[in-house]
Amino acid sequence: MNQQMPDGSTRYPLLFGIDEPSQLRELNRDQLIPLALELRKYLIEITAQTGGHLAPGLGTIELTIALHYVFNTPEDRLVWDIGHQAYPHKILTGRRDRFHTIRQYQGLSGFLKRSESEYDTFGAGHASTSISAALGMAVAAGQAGIEREVVAIIGDGALTGGMAFEALNNAGDLDANLLVILNDNEMSISPNVGAISNYLARILSGHAYSTVREGSKTVLSTLPPPIKNYARRWEEHLKGMVMPSTLFEELGFYYIGPIDGHNLQTAVTTLKNMRKMKGPRFLHVVTQKGKGFEPAEGDPCVFHGVTPFNPDTGKMEKKKKGRTYTDVFSDWLCDMAAQDKKLIGITPAMREGSGLVGFSHKFPERYFDVGIAEQHSLTFAAGLACEGLKPVVAIYSTFLQRAYDQLIHDIALQNLDVLFAIDRAGLVGADGATHAGAYDYSFLRCIPGMVVMAPADEAECRNMLYTGYQHVGPASVRYPRGGGGPGVAEKTRMRALTIGKAEVRRTTEGKIKPVAILAFGTMLTPAVEVGDALDATVVNMRFVKPLDEPLILTLADACSLLVTVEENVVMGGAGSAVNECLAKNNRQVAILNLGIPDKHLDQGSQQQQLAAIGLDADGIKRQILSRLAIMSEPQQQVKTQQAKTQWPKTITAVS
């Protein structure tokens, strides 16, 4: 972890005078703009040293200050959607002096985390959750008779998620006391339109207009329904002429905006006015990603997530980076698309992260970014497959979890020809538990007809993608984040692997009852190192489903100990599949299942995470030797024999 940052009270007098939001609320409004300047400069300075998510937070500085200035946090609840936009929130809520540890081992989380601060009211690493969670909190407050404001802050990208619209629909119907703020950083407001919108927002959220509106409701309530509905529609029509309110008004929200999210005076006034209102309210705030830092304003995509950079120029440190599995997929997709015009590439809003940039440029008519809508992406792929096309869904392991019903019901049940390229499988380093791809072996292998592949190197990844594409039916290839592979160069010509066939990488010929290590995917590299050290047989399993059962049974008969190693949770994972194979075939052999334990792992480097749970070479070797030592203990052998011959006294028959 980094050293403690030096005291910045002289350079940031306002910011370093705020250890909690109550101190922010003691400032006068004229001090808020210089505070925003200090906060922006501090965010750039620290992130330049640590890396992290920069552009989203730069865009929400004024909005964050206004929210904590107007609302009585943490009693009033702020529910941020995902954590990228919440860095300023962390700095203002007692974590300023630890902000230099963000996304590091034992440091602050890069996302919202309830156990980290009472101001983080809801943990959020995935998008589109804020409105649902905030609605639950608002209803809970109402049930308890508590006067509390609940605010959901959601980005325009997250609003593409179906869950957000489900929550909006429900909130309007419940008439809950909820404020939803749309942080829209995609559309731009020209100076004239911005001024008009800000003026209208102040008027429409003001006391006079609200009083008239509420009074008119009372009067209209006595009128026949047709006249009341006509009056309501007429108000919506007038507002719809100058602002995009119709959709949200139809969902039952009182809409205000759009306003300039960087105008602190407008934001504070509007929020104060809207705080006095009751029921479902919707505030449309327009911001600019990377605001106040010219390099980030010019390229907010590059500065969304950054490595350490020069805060004066924006130039990032160049680290030597090998070829990544994402690069392998990107090249394979373009090569395969050139061969087969039926190939369609699909991503749920992760074009850059999933390696589809090149494909989107070369084959724009066959590229579909469906937004943050994982469920839709799978059923959309199912529809394409029904018509004879060959969809490839590029998706992070952690996001595939969100579309599990569609995977089973819409694709697997109909045996549709869809290939899943699953990125960020296994542990993901600084992104921590929210993005860990720790479960896909477990939730994929239980689905009938699903082929589950895990490459051990780059060349094998390319061939597995080709194998899955040629296979008729659903198939998946899961690979890790970033580089770190053994560096095996791919060949241009692709080769289909025999489905369900493993590969013995190291043998121990002539050794009596050796140890056999069954390695899945990324675990082959440390497994070979351990195999060399212990003179053990090492197998590259390749397939989690279907397993190479004949080879497993042969090894069970020949070895004293089988060790399964996987970068997936042990529960229900690849090791469990081996256990089931042995039990089904009545083979009795000692077995050690190594993988991710039954707990959520915090962020750190991938190497730190693997070492912490014993999945590096040293950890694997240590655990095998420990098991062998137990197996060789004479007392243990006696106990084992007794266990076979004596019925435990604690177990009694029920008459």
Positions marked catalytic: 289, 374, 402
Q: What is the CA radius of gyration of the chain?
A: 29
**What is d(CA 319, CA 308) in angstroms, rounded to the nearest whole number?**
10
* Contact predicate 121/137, CB 8 Å: yes
Q: State residue 3 phi and psi, 5-degree precision.
A: -70, 160
Closest by Cα among 554, 573, 553 to 615: 573
Cα-based torsion angle of the residue sequence 609, 460, 425, 2 in order, rounded to the nearest 10 degrees: 30
Closest by Cα among 395, 373, 393 to 384: 393
Q: State residue 230 phi and psi, 5-degree precision.
A: -65, -45
The tokens of 554 are what? 């042969």
**What is d(CA 462, CA 618) in angstroms, rounded to the nearest whole number?**
29
**What is d(CA 276, CA 210) in angstroms, rounded to the nearest whole number?**
9
* Contact predicate 289/56, CB 8 Å: yes
* 439: DSSP letter: S
* Contact predicate 155/185, CB 8 Å: yes
The tokens of 615 are what? 């999945």
* Contact predicate 475/562, CB 8 Å: no
Angle, CA 220 vertex, CA 216 and CA 226 arms, to 5°: 140
**What is d(CA 608, CA 616) in angstroms, rounded to the nearest whole number?**
9
**What is d(CA 327, CA 354) in angstroms, rounded to the nearest whole number?**
9
The tokens of 22 are what? 């109550």
Annotate 559-578 with DSSP letters as a single string: -SEEEEEEEEESTTSHHHHH
* Contact predicate 555/563, CB 8 Å: no
**What is d(CA 391, CA 383) in angstroms, rounded to the nearest whole number?**
9
H or E stretch covering 544: strand 543-545
Angle, CA 497 vertex, CA 331 and CA 562 arms, to 5°: 115
* Contact predicate 194/260, CB 8 Å: yes
Q: State residue 587 phi and psi, 5-degree precision.
A: -100, 130
The tokens of 453 are what? 């592949």
Closest by Cα among 481, 58, 92, 114 to 300: 58
| Strand arrangement, sheet containing 561-569 | 503-506, 537-540, 515-519, 561-569, 590-596
* CB neighbour list of residue 571: distance below 8 Å, 6 or more residues apart: 442, 598
